[in-house]
Structure 1
Amino acid sequence: MEDLIAHYGLIAIALGSGIEGEPFALAGGVLAQRHWLPPYVAILAAIGGSFMVDQMWFLLSRNFRQSRMVQAVIHRPAFRRSLTLIERNPARFVLMFRFAYGLRAVTAVAVGCSRMPLRRFLPLNLLAATLWGSIFTMLGYALGPALEQAVAHVGYALTALSIAVSGLVIFLLIRRRHS
């Protein structure tokens, strides 16, 4: 298993962090905590994957707005709301959208369709990816032993369900606070 992780772990963390997000950055932290990867390498993989995929979505939506992939995202309900938020406070939006679970592809496309220039998006994207990748990878590093113990005692399904319910409660509390 360690050989497989040593060969493909960084690629999986980078691609997964860019496409799926948090679970892969957290997993990178767990792997670092188990000494299967150096912590800084796991963090860099999460940062790099997140940065590159969001940069790709930005450029794709900026240059190929009529493509099927971009049009599919543009027609999602969250797209219009994201575009409105970008126009109000573009820098803040770019720094925060990674932390909005489930909206990454929509929001990166919305930024590409907005009036934000590439020269402004690029450094904000790098800063946001650095913050996000560092936070979630180190969270995985810190929580790794607790997650392993939970899985050993109650299994993967119940651990995942507990994490999902906890995340939902936190999301609802935050949403209620901002309403």
Structure 2
Amino acid sequence: MEHFRGLPFPLAVATLFVIVLLRAGGTYALGRAARSGASRTRVQRLAESPRFERAQELLARWGAPVVVLSFLTVGFQTLVNLAAGIGRMPLRRYLPALVIGGAIWAVLYATVGLVTFAALARLYQLSPVGAVVGGLALISGLVGYIVWQVRRNHRSSGHWSTADVDQ
């Protein structure tokens, strides 16, 4: 993190952009490669998870915009790129979404992400206990919000599966 804060802003964004392109593009490539030989592997177990099924459903319904928007999430981004690879999303649709989403992620991470990290580091210097308690409160609030959203969506839409997309 310290390395990026020392770079000029355009160089920090460019470096983060290359990193996210390699990471997300690699996840997509892994999905494409694993599609045929995924049985009895960790990729297969991941592909059978409810979150992965949700990513596939969203990709089937909305396509490339889901890839772009996934870069605004944590964790789900990886599942979306893997689902795009396993689902063999055409490169002519995937690559523009990857570039746009990656650019958004790099700018956000170079601004908000690094500032947040610096603020947490400074808070930790002033009060380690306060930083830990504050971090736990933020994480608890985020988890609570996510659980509330999932329960609310589950109740309003009923149980879903990827088979529902074809209907």
Secondary structure class of the residue paired with 1:121: helix
> 2:46 pairs with 73, 84, 93, which one?
73
Q: Which moved more, 1:148-157 or 1:103-112?
A: 148-157
Give the number of aligned pairs.
149
CA distance in 2, matches of 1:141, 1:79: 29
Secondary structure class of the residue paired with 1:127: helix
Asked whether 1:107 is paired with 2:80, we answer yes
Deviation digits for residues 35-70 of structure 1 (CA, Å, limit 9, x no counterpart): x22222222222211111111121221233123343
Displacement after TM superposition at 1:145 (Å): 5.0
- RMSD between superposed Cα atoms in Å: 2.8
Tell whether the 8 Å contact from 1:73 to 1:109 is kept in structure 2 after alignment: no
Displacement after TM superposition at 1:174 (Å): 6.3
Deviation digits for residues 95-135 of structure 1 (CA, Å, limit 9, x no counterpart): 11122322233221111122520121011101101101111
> 1:161 pairs with 109, 124, 136, which one?
136
Give unmatched runs, 5+ long, in structure 1: 1-26
1:41 alignment partner in structure 2: 11
Matching of residues 18-167 of structure 1 within 5 Å:
27=1, 31-32=4-5, 36-65=6-35, 66-67=37-38, 68-143=41-116, 146-155=119-128, 156-167=131-142
| Greater radius of gyration (CA) | 2
Tell whether the 8 Å contact from 1:98 to 1:132 is kept in structure 2 after alignment: yes
CA distance in 2, matches of 1:89, 1:124: 12
Structure 1 residues 161 and 131, CA gap change in structure 2 (3 angstroms): same
CA distance in 1, matches of 2:141, 2:122: 17
Structure 2 residue identity aligned to 1:129: G
Structure 2 residue identity aligned to 1:49: I
Tell whether the 8 Å contact from 2:34 to 2:86 is kept in structure 1 after alignment: no
Structure 1 residues 44 and 176, CA gap change in structure 2 (3 angstroms): farther
Displacement after TM superposition at 1:94 (Å): 0.7
